Amino acid sequence: MKLTFLGTGAAVPTKYRSHPSVALKFDGEIFLFDCGENTQRQIIFTDVSPMKINNIFISHLHGDHILGIPGLLQSIAFQGRKKPLNIYGPPETKEMIKNMLKIGYHSIDYPINIHEASIESPEMIIASSNNSNGNNYEVYTFPVKHSVPSISYLFKQIKKPQMDIKKAETLGIEIGPDLKKLKDGFSIQLKNGKVITPKDVTIPPKKGYCIGYSGDTIPIDEFGKFLKYHGCNVLIHEATFDSSMQKNAVDTMHSTILDALDILEKSGARTLIATHISARYDDIMSFERDIVKFKEKNPEIEILIAEDFLEYVLK
């Protein structure tokens, strides 16, 4: 699993920060969180394959988070995409995509499935299936608060129970067809008539990785608690401003880096990656100063201020 930050700017891009987008590489697929203008070109500078994007998660319908979608949809069509693409977002995402598809001449002929998530309550938008290669996942939304309807996302790796080979041997099951059946979730009957269920020969699964993505929002305590409940490891939280701009953050319904740290603490995550940095900052000195105290008190916590093309490997 790897996160690639394709754009880490806010409403206005800068020389160093393109509009927001984060790619998660998981089990050969790319999951894209927001898709600001220029995402398709930022991708060229990374090892992210645009043809492997099967799911796009949109936090809210502000231009800086969505204007890369039409170009990306057209580009992957141009490159021969036939597979369906899933797009998730807040209410009005369907209407928005419909309007995007009306722009200019193009030939997008792969299916686009759109799911509008609730802005009233959390939702499981992708349920873990049973037939994966052991790398299942679930995706949840959690409504947050910005100047327009806005949702955050939680991506959760679901590991399958592991086979306890030693226990299987003790029960007299040899490595072979019987063990494979049990692995695939079926019960078997031994020669002595005893029925063995998969549960008899598995050990509880290890906990998978869990990533939170705030989108644009004021700090929401309940979002922190929601992340904690799910065992969040890595929190990607917006930090448009440093602490000196607290008033601006409130006025524009964004977070400061201190707000992001606050939600991090509530989430129990061990890593914060702050992104969506305002164009007013030429460097991240003031952000670094803001996190000094927290770091001293919490040396075990990893805090990164994202920059374009930052790669973060979860291992």
Binding residues for Zn(2+): 60, 62, 64-65, 146, 216, 276
Q: Rule CB under 8 A: is residue 12 a binding residue for a copy of itself?
A: yes
Q: What angle do CA 108, 113, 118 make, to 5 degrees?
A: 140
Q: How far is the CB of 11 from a copy of itself (least distance, A)?
A: 6
Q: What is the dihedral of CA 42, 47, 52, 53, to 10 degrees?
A: -40
Q: What are phi and psi of 264, to 5 degrees?
A: -55, -45
Considering only the stretches 11-19, 175-183, 199-207, 289-297, report the one whose residues sit in contact with a copy of itself under the rule CB under 8 A: 11-19
Q: Interaction with a copy of itself in 77-106: which residues (CB under 8 A)?
A: 78-79, 95-96, 99-100, 102-106
Q: How many residues does the chain have?
A: 315
DSSP character for 9? B
CB 208 within 8 A of CB 132: no
d(CA 53, CA 56): 7
53-57/85-89 β-pairing: parallel
Instruction: For CA atoms 62, 63, 68, 69, give the dihedral sign.
Output: positive
Which CB sits closer to a copy of itself, 45 or 229?
Answer: 45
Which CB sits closer to a copy of itself, 47 or 222?
Answer: 47
Number of chain positions touching a copy of itself (CB under 8 A)? 36
64 is catalytic: yes
In angstroms and rounded to an integer, the radius of gyration of the C-alpha atoms of the chain is 22
Residues 6+ apart with CB under 8 A from 177: none
Q: How far is CA 23 from the centre of its chain?
A: 8
Instruction: For CA atoms 230, 138, 141, 60, give the dihedral sign.
Output: positive
* Among residues 51, 124, 127, 148, the one that binds a copy of itself under rule CB under 8 A: 148
Q: Per DSSP, what are the bridge partners of residue 211?
A: 155, 234
Of the residues 27, 34, 47, 64, only one is catalytic, namely: 64
Which residues contribute to the annotated binding site?
60, 62, 64-65, 146, 216, 276
Q: Interaction with a copy of itself in 29-68: which residues (CB under 8 A)?
A: 37-38, 40-41, 44-45, 61-63, 66-68
Considering only the stretches 74-82, 136-144, 220-228, 306-314, report the one whose residues sit in contact with a copy of itself under the rule CB under 8 A: 74-82
Site map (CB under 8 A) of a copy of itself, residues 213-232, x = contact:
--------------------
Which CB sits closer to a copy of itself, 97 or 232?
Answer: 97
Q: How far is the CB of 110 from a copy of itself (least distance, A)?
A: 16
CB 222 within 8 A of CB 212: no
Q: Rule CB under 8 A: is residue 71 a binding residue for a copy of itself?
A: yes
Which residues of this protein are in contact with a copy of itself, per CB under 8 A?
11-15, 18-19, 37-38, 40-41, 44-45, 61-63, 66-68, 70-71, 74-75, 78-79, 95-96, 99-100, 102-106, 147-148
Where in the sequence numbering do the catalytic residues fall?
64
